Structure 1
Amino acid sequence: MAAPSRTRLNSGLLHAMRLFVAVVDARGFTAAARQSNLTPPQVSRMIAELELRLGTKLLHRNARSVTLTAAGEQYLRKCRTILELVEEAEGEARDTVVRPAGTLRVSSMTSLGRHYVQPVIVEYAQRYPGVKVEYLTRQYPPDILAEGIDSSLFFASDLTASSLVGRKVAGARALLCASPDYLAQHGTPTRPEDLLAHSCIKLTSVPARYWELTEGVSTVSVPVRSVLDCDTPDAVLLAALAGLGIGLFPSWVVIDSLRSGRLVPVLPRWRTPEVGVYLLIPSRRLLPAKTRAWIDLITSRLPFALARDERIATQLAVSQSGASAD
């Protein structure tokens, strides 16, 4: 038989969790009580019963504020996840038969969007004619809460926007390319360190002085001399085609140029480390049907398209450079 302290809150455990989160977010019992239409003593008693149930202290209390204990910090993270999942489950149960409707605001980085997101938007619009789609391009993660954006796709080594919900849906690596005319005039690098003697065309999102390249287990950080900084891969492509220098490109940007021979691979066995493609949403709580439908569609299309083009670009680079190119 369960101990009384374990069974005491079984019927109101979610309520106690919500109050605990409210106390932390409001930084005090009084504000949390006001938000919950309770009295501070009622909230205090509920938190005390929760601590009794768990057998550990969750909060340090003083006259001015409350702070989390180590156990409280860990419990808070779990509480937030559990409460979000409960609300999501209830929302999905209520909205199961609801068709997507309203306005869907989607954003993406320009080049990624042009190659991959826009075709999926067309498919989405055809499937759900009751939804108006607004498509925005951003080179950096937008403030999706302030701008009312339902979903955003962007590149990042890791997800640091802790106030938002992100899901890694794919990965991408960049390869080095240059025009044949540039290499004929300036020579072809045979090792990463040779880039020091070359003109390079850089993305402004890449750290100012260094290119990080990897070949299996070997990774090097090479300082490069930038002759032009661009904020989109497509702009880097135009500069490289004009013979201004060596550029780093996502696979989808250079496939056509590699096929035509207007660009050739440089150090084809060296690539950048993988960068994640993240799908960002304001919250996983109570997602409307329009957003769930978009997430399902884009995550069913984007990873496979990126993997396909990564494979094609790699095959083209290896076949054009030969086994001993580097």
Structure 2
Amino acid sequence: MTGRLTSDRRIFLKGVVGLGASGLLAGCAPKLGGVLTAADAHPQNYPTVQAVQYMGDLLSEWTGGRLGIKIFAGGQLGSETDTLEITSFGGLDLTRVNFAPLNSIEPLTLPVCLPFIFKSVAHMRRVVDSDVGEEILASLEPHGLIGLCYYDSGARSFYNKRNPIFHPRDMAGLKLRVPPSDLYVAMINALGAHAVPIPFGEIYQALTQGVIDGAENNWPTLVGERHYEAISYFSLTEHLLTPEALVMSKASWDRLNENDRVLVRRAAKRSVVEMRRLWDMRVAEAKQIIASSNVKVNPVDKAPFADLMRPVWDQFIVTPAQKSLTDRIVAMGEG
């Protein structure tokens, strides 16, 4: 983690106290009623937020209201990097996070983030539901985090204001937003565009003000964050199918008794089924909205893009453990 703990602690304390929830700061301490605090950068109606709320409802049902979850959605407690950091030292119990911030603290999270490593949504889900997925989640514990489950973040493609993208040469000179991740920056640069790392919550403003020409994300985010109002072209490169993670503070986890830990894990796994149901519905709805908008959607031959990614893979997959995971992921998509 970075050296911003003091600042982020103040942000978190001020935010939750301002929301009248100062009693939740002790994390998941049972003496406060077993309320777990959770954060998500997405809005209240987003599938990941709804999935965590579903998880909380299950916990409440199973424990007669003794356990539950209070979720702060819409980036109320800061960016994903902020909430991940706060969670790592116990200021938050749970946070839903993209894998990009995890890459900087744990090398084994990198393979699932490689461009074009997944052949399809089904391939990605098969991997994260396997022993490979469990190994990656387990690698977070030394960093003060307990990996509970994976959520979808969809097939990410490029969208921008200037021109459709059919070939990597069409990306020359485009200023494209990326998460704060060296891997994303390398990917964009390898394709000939200019990577601009900015927080998720600032994308819409950056698009409307011309700070960036475009970004890359999935169908529901394009619609849910209203990015489609500020762009003209959506090119279906589907370069990333990176999952997201729901992680818990190890400090909070250690305060739970063994029975409650079992319930938390069980509820988290159940929430994945609900999230995927909601996600698939949201993708279908988003496609309908874009179809009736002014955005032009174009298919893409992925091969020329994927051919440029081998140096990126070689740059980031350097340890035997990373290479083993990468080979196993690729093998699960063959046949």
The TM-score with structure 2 as length reference comes to 0.48
Name the structure where strand makes up a greater proportion of residues.
Answer: 1
Of structures 1 and 2, the one with the larger relative CO (CA 8 A, separation 6+) is 2
